Structure 1
Amino acid sequence: MQLYIKNMVCDRCILVIKEQLEKAGIAYNNISLGEITLDHEPAPEQLDNLNRNLTAIGFELLDDKKEKLIEKIKNIIISLIHRNEDGNNKKLSAILEEKLQMDYHYLSNLFSSTEGLTIEKYTIRQRIERVKELLTYNELSLSEIAGQMEYSSVQHLSQQFKKETGLTPTQFRELKENTRKPLDKV
């Protein structure tokens, strides 16, 4: 049995979900971003208890097929960008089609109508959040960040960054306050 969870965007989220599953007495085989594979179907009371506990800490069990699909799209994009999963230089549309076994145009239309922005815009926002993170660490040059994030040039990165944040990457790096967004709020 599969469970799908909204707002599960990082490794710490996975640890929190594991803790909640154990607390609810629900056995699982595997947990990845947004998805849990269970050993067997839990009792309704266990699921209700899990759902209450997850909701209290900012997560949500998903029932709707379209919501599950949207969450899968988001988690694939987050994995590609923030977890440096290799896309083998494939276009995002091809990766989504391959992983979800669905037509990209359907996925794109569903995502846009549900989220109010395109998959491409969501991807850009995630990339910019990753760039902010790398800038905050101050370990890589802008050129290295552009290369790691697969921008065609530093200029392209800078233009997209300024368009999204209103700041140049250099101005952002010089800020004293952290203006990064949590991944589930992007």
Structure 2
Amino acid sequence: MIRLVIVDDQALVREGLALILGGQPDIEVVAELADGEALLRSDVDADVILLDLYLPGLDGVGVLRARSFAAKVLVLTAVGSAADVQRALAAGADGFVLKDATGAELAAAVRGAHAGVRPLSASAAELLWPRTAAPAGADLGALTARERDVLRLLGQGRSNREIARALGLAERTVKTHVSNLLAKLAVESRTQAALLAQGLKD
């Protein structure tokens, strides 16, 4: 079970996120907090913290810089820019999600952060790597059927272990497929590959 803390200054947003994410079979919302100072004072035992970027007083980046807890931090904001994403990641964020994400995307991002994948929602990834700036060498048609399966699951924020379980493969085999598809797509990271996963046809 993933223990989740939600930090957002808007009560309605906190309650909505708690309802959506707390309804997942593998996620338990253990606390809802209104600001960064409350989080730093809290002794709540959590695996993942969903942290609003723009908070009154100490903002999300300030919390990241001051944190002394081991929990993964997934940054959330309603309106973001490439600079926001870069600033949060540079401060130590374990993922970045915009509030236009679906409930399924949010849940996948929480799972991804917990697994150490460093997820970005599709819209956050788009800020960093617009489709018009996709690597010239990226060729989805060059992927094998199995590599396409792996890429689809990467796009959902799944870890290698989760992909292996879903496809009935050894985790070592999944690592090989990931390395191969990164090379074929001419990208350097799983996150960039996940953005390109949107171009896959069923």
TM-score where L is the length of structure 1: 0.29
Q: Which has the higher contact order (CA 8 A, sep 6+)?
A: 1
TM-score, normalized by length of structure 2? 0.27
Structure with the larger helix share: 1
Structure with the higher fraction of residues in strand conformation: 2
